[in-house]
């Protein structure tokens, strides 16, 4: 490592999801028959009407710098979408559009956290939350949920970790990596608890909003008036509209937080891509059928993988209600070996499965869990069947 790099970067963990995706891309390029279920991104193409809007944007000259927080027409479209889908009232100036929800989260954390402030992370959590909190010199505190409780924390559990230093809570529902979805009643109870702590803010990451199999409409924490001023709703276009490469995410937040994020973004990236923004207008206001079709297929895959995982001795899993991941417990195999390689933790397991099973899954430690690994089922049913067979065979060799 170059000695002149900052401690900020030398201490930063590489994103485990992106690292595994890179490794499997490299192995594939060398001719290895790897099936990559590491990165979480829809394997569907962006819907046609969104692509057309982007092409029109180029032809119509939407090729210049945009306002830092996004074009007014996009922020207005998002405000309408938030009312339509989430029953949330936000004015366009409370919305900041960014280069992906990842940047939205970074903007908020860097705007709110002072060194030493505590950030509560219901665990398992998405990999980048802790890395960004570290970047802001905050102190991440994991609040562990168990597979038996569908990987959800209770308000009492969270409250027991709130101290005078607690500034922020960050969680996703539907959750990456567990697929868990907090119900309206659970969020209502959470809102009641949080309202007792008005100086604690909450990032509610709803990027998987549409990928929900509960049959219930998505509930946003900000819907509960007693906590609305404490909540920053994060969302984006990557998952629900199969637009990962377009890099388009946003927050809806109290005005002072939106203004801080605008200032932060104005010094780091400016407004995101003008063409992607005009595509976002089409996505937010257009036909939702392609999204619903995609979710129907994800649901079939979820059911298929659930059945197959349950047929593998030693694996323990919950039934995810949303997103497109399984986060299953492989601790029954810890201490077992094959060919001189012993699996003692999730990282060893993901290495073993890559080498012995030719499948790329992500080590659960990056998500704050010591027993599980993550499988993204955003892949064809055919691939998923092969993966589960490879998984079964590789695990059966461990003695
Ligand atoms: N939050 C969660 C929970 C995610 O899974 C992702 C996916 N990368 C993001 C945020 C960031 O999404 P993007 O930057 O592609 O909008
Ligand atoms: N959200 C995806 C994942 O968790 C994309 C990769 C990333 O940005 O971490 O795999």
What is the mean pLDDT of the segment spanning 134-138?
97
CATH number 3.90.1150.10 given to 7-45+290-396: yes
Q: Is the CB of 127 under 6 A from ligand 2?
A: yes
Against a cut of 0.85, is the pTM above it? yes
- 170-191 pLDDT, tens digit each: 999 999 999 999 999 999 999 9
Can you list the positions of beta strands (E) in the chain?
A: 35-36, 95-98, 118-123, 139-144, 166-172, 201-205, 231-236, 249-252, 325-329, 336-338, 341-343, 359-360, 362-363, 372-376
- 336-384 pLDDT, tens digit each: 999 999 999 999 999 999 999 999 999 999 999 999 999 999 999 999 9
% of the chain residues with pLDDT over 90: 99
Output the furthest CA–CA distance in the chain (Å, rounded): 63
- 69-125 pLDDT, tens digit each: 999 999 999 999 999 999 999 999 999 999 999 999 999 999 999 999 999 999 999
- 372-399 pLDDT, tens digit each: 999 999 999 999 999 999 999 999 999 9
DSSP string, 269-296: T-S--HHHHHHHHHHHHS--HHHHHHHH
- Report which of 23, 44, 14 is spatially closest to residue 294, judged by C-alpha positions: 44
Give distance in angstroms: CA of 3 to centre of ligand 1: 32
Which of 21, 70, 97, 100 to mutate to test ligand 1, by most ligand atoms within 8 A of the CB atom? 100
Q: Is the CB of 183 under 6 A from ligand 2?
A: no
pLDDT score, position 3:
78
Question: pLDDT-derived band of residue 2, with 50, 70 and 90 as boundaries?
Answer: low
Ranges of each domain in the chain: 7-45+290-396, 63-285
Same fold for the domain at 7-45+290-396 and the one at 63-285?
no
Architecture of domain 63-285: 3-Layer(aba) Sandwich (3.40)
Burial of 18 (0-12, 13-18, 19+ CB in 10 A): middle
Q: Which ligand is nearest to the CA of 128?
A: 2
Q: Is the CB of 40 under 6 A from ligand 1?
A: yes
């Amino acid at each position: 490592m170059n000695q002149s790099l900052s401690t900020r970067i030398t201490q930063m963990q590489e994103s485990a999801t992106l690292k595994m995706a890179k490794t499997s891309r490299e192995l594939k390029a060398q001719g290895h028959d790897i099936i990559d279920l590491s990165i979480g991104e829809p394997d569907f193409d962006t819907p046609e009407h969104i692509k057309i809007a982007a092409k029109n944007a180029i032809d119509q000259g939407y090729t210049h710098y945009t306002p830092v927080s996004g074009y007014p027409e996009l922020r207005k479209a998002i405000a309408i979408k938030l009312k339509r889908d989430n029953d949330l009232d936000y004015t366009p100036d409370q919305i900041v559009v960014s280069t992906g929800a990842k940047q939205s989260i970074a903007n908020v954390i860097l705007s709110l956290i002072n060194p030493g402030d505590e950030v509560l992370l219901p665990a398992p959590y998405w990999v980048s939350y802790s890395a960004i909190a570290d970047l802001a010199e905050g102190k991440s505190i994991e609040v562990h949920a168990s597979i038996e409780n569908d990987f959800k924390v209770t308000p009492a559990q969270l409250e027991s970790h709130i101290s005078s230093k607690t500034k922020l809570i960050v969680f996703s529902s539907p959750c990456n990596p567990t697929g868990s979805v907090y119900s309206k009643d659970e969020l209502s109870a959470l809102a009641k608890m949080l309202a007792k702590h008005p100086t604690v803010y909450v990032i509610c990451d709803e990027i998987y909003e549409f990928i929900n199999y509960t049959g219930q409409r998505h509930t946003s924490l900000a819907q509960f008036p007693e906590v609305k001023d404490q909540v920053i709703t994060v969302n984006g276009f990557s998952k629900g509209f199969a637009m990962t490469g377009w890099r388009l995410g946003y927050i809806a937040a109290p005005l002072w937080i939106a203004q801080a994020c605008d200032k932060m973004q104005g010094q780091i990236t400016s407004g995101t891509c003008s063409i992607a923004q005009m595509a976002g207008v089409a996505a937010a206001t257009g036909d939702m059928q392609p999204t619903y079709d995609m979710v129907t297929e994800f649901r079939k895959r979820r059911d298929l993988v659930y059945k197959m995982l349950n047929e593998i001795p030693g694996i323990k899993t919950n039934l995810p209600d949303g997103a497109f991941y399984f986060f299953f417990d492989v601790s029954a195999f810890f201490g077992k070996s094959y060919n001189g390689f012993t699996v003692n933790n999730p990282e060893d397991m993901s290495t073993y499965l890559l080498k012995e099973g030719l499948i790329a899954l992500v080590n659960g430690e990056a998500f704050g869990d010591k027993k599980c690994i993550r499988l993204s089922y955003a892949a064809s049913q055919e691939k998923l069947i092969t993966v589960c067979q490879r998984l079964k065979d590789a695990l059966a060799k461990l003695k």
